[in-house]
Amino acid sequence: MGSVKDLFVQTSPRENIMGQGKFIFSDRYSVFDWGEMPDHIPHKGEALCLIGAYFFEKLSSLGHETHYRGLEENDQVKLLSEISAPSSIMHVSLVKVIHPTQNGNSYDYGVYHQDHTNFLIPFEFIYRNSIPFGASFRKRVESGSINLKEYGLEKMPSPDKKLSTPILDVSTKLEEQDRYLTWDQVLELNIISQEDIQNIKKTLTFADELITQEVKTIGLENEDGKIELAFDPERKLMFVDVLGTPDECRFTWKGIHLSKEVAREFYRKTSWYDEVSQIKSRYSVGWKYYVKSKPQPLPERLLQAIGWIYQRIAMDLTEREWFLGVPSLEKIVEEIKEFV
């Protein structure tokens, strides 16, 4: 399916019928749209699967529709509370994934105009509770591509300041390189209506509040994150992919990043990142072909510490000790401080 997890299709979705399949979460990871990086993060796949299941089951208990069906153990589909060991396999319902047509350096979304139900909405929906260093929003303002006033801000907030109202943002999902859009641009693509956008914003805000509340109980701040949504066969909004994980969110502990951002911070100091940034600014499609260097492996201690981040968050949220020998978040922070 991608650089992080694989999809096994059991039955394909049809016009107004969802299919069935399963995500197989791996220890692979990706940063800066590069694809698979040279290292595998220990137990990352199992931890992501557990965290994703935790939030899906929370959403279901609160009356929200998701595509989650359960976790696999011994060829059976079970709830999180029913499994006896970590699982990296999540069973899900499937909707149609319709790819926009690529036309040179642009994409045509006209293919969506015939489908009204049972498909993945081809955007990532993003909430921002703060704008920390490294946030793409900060870079977009600095480059002049967006205006703060469009988001109700007079000046750029300091990195440690919480926003009184979250910023709700949107980017493309199925293009080679994620591209930020305004909500007006989304509407112009004629895939979702103004009413859909209002419902999506309410759903995104709810997800933000839920994730913020849950991770706060284990000492984390939810700085920003993303969700993915689909229309079910009755055109109801449905949570898909996963949410609330350190891959989908930017969590901090006393100002220190405890998410995939740790790896990003390490690579931002490398010549490989400098080259990727330069090439991506010149080519929106096919940019990877022009990058001559390769990312170096992470230092062994940092790789282990990043694995601990995923494992510890999974254990603290679910209140079960799934993995052995994992330090507290405070001790993990001490391990990564010299690298970030």
Residues 187-221: tens digit of each pLDDT = 999 999 999 999 999 999 999 999 999 999 999 99
**SS3 of residue 73 by DSSP:** strand
Residue that is written with structure tokens 């994934």 in the block: 97
* Lowest model confidence (mean pLDDT) among 47-51, 167-171, 254-258: 254-258
Cα 248 from Cα 243, distance rounded (Å): 6
Residues 260-284: tens digit of each pLDDT = 889 999 999 999 999 999 999 898 7
The strand pair at 119-120 and 89-94 is best described as unpaired
Q: Is the pLDDT of residue 338 over 90?
A: no
Cα 286 from Cα 176, distance rounded (Å): 8
Domain ranges of the chain: 5-129+166-336
**SS3 of residue 339 by DSSP:** coil
Q: Which are the contacts of 82, defined by CB distance < 8 A and separation ≥ 6?
A: 73
| 297-317 mean pLDDT | 97
Q: Is the pLDDT of residue 318 over 80?
A: yes
**Domain made up of 5-129+166-336: CATH architecture:** 2-Layer Sandwich (3.30)
| 315-328 mean pLDDT | 97
Instruction: Show the tokens assigned to 18.
Output: 């969802």
Residues 61-101: tens digit of each pLDDT = 999 999 999 999 999 999 999 999 999 999 999 999 999 99
- pTM metric for this prediction: 0.93
Cα 12 from Cα 227, distance rounded (Å): 23
Residue 1 has what pLDDT?
57
Name the β-bridge partners of 171: 124, 180
Task: Give the confidence band of 286 by pLDDT, cuts at 50, 70, 90.
Answer: confident
Instruction: Show the tokens assigned to 78.
Output: 């079970």
Instruction: Show the tokens assigned to 162.
Output: 């919480």
Give the rounded percent of residues in the chain with a pLDDT score beyond 70. 99
Closest CA to 49 of 327, 300, 323: 323
Higher pLDDT, 159 or 91: 91
